[in-house]
Amino acid sequence: APRGVPQIEVVFDIDANGIVHVSAKDKGTGKEQQIVIQSGGGLSKDEIENMIKKAEEYAASDKKKRELIELVNQGESIVHDTETKMEEFKSQLPAEECEKLKKEIADLRTLLANKDTAEPEEVRKATSQLQQSSLKLFEMAYKKMSAERESNASGSSSSEQTNSEEKKEGKN
């Protein structure tokens, strides 16, 4: 160390009980000091047992709350996906079926808005119902789209054949 700056050796020792022993020694003067730091705010066995009992009591309600939160998130995701797909395929979807689906979405949204009082089973049932209804509706849309593609493909191939036959006849 530079001249005039004291050299101090400091030792920190923590034992298994969480007690900290600190000692410092000035190398220049040989003066040494020690201090012991221990926790005075530890919990008693009764307090620990009480905390464990409370944790066990609330475990069931915490599990129910977690399940409800997961179901609400799933429901919100399905509502968003369904609305997005409805907008994307609105030209292929029957208006009457769209209205039914919109009503189911509104019902589920109402249930999700009242998530503090909703039961997990109600949310699960409404989410499942919306999912099934939307799957049926979009299945109809996909079938309609594939039928349109097939008719367009067969229509365009027959018109190509007609054009090629006309060209052959024109050459003769």
34-52 pLDDT, tens digit each? 999 887 767 788 988 999 9
DSSP letter, residue 37: E
How far apart CA 104 and CA 64 sit, in angstroms, is: 24
How far apart CA 8 and CA 122 sit, in angstroms, is: 69
Domains (range + CATH), the chain:
8-37 (no CATH), 59-171 (1.20.1270.10)
Residues 127 and 80: beta-carbon distance below 8 Å: no
Q: Tens digit of pLDDT for each residue in 130-142?
A: 999 888 888 888 8
Q: Tens digit of pLDDT for each residue in 142-168?
A: 888 888 888 877 766 555 555 555 555
DSSP letter, residue 7: P
| Other CB atoms within 10 Å distance of the CB of residue 134 | 21
Estimate the crossing angle of helix 95-113 against helix 45-88, to 10 degrees.
Answer: 160
Model pTM greater than 0.85? no
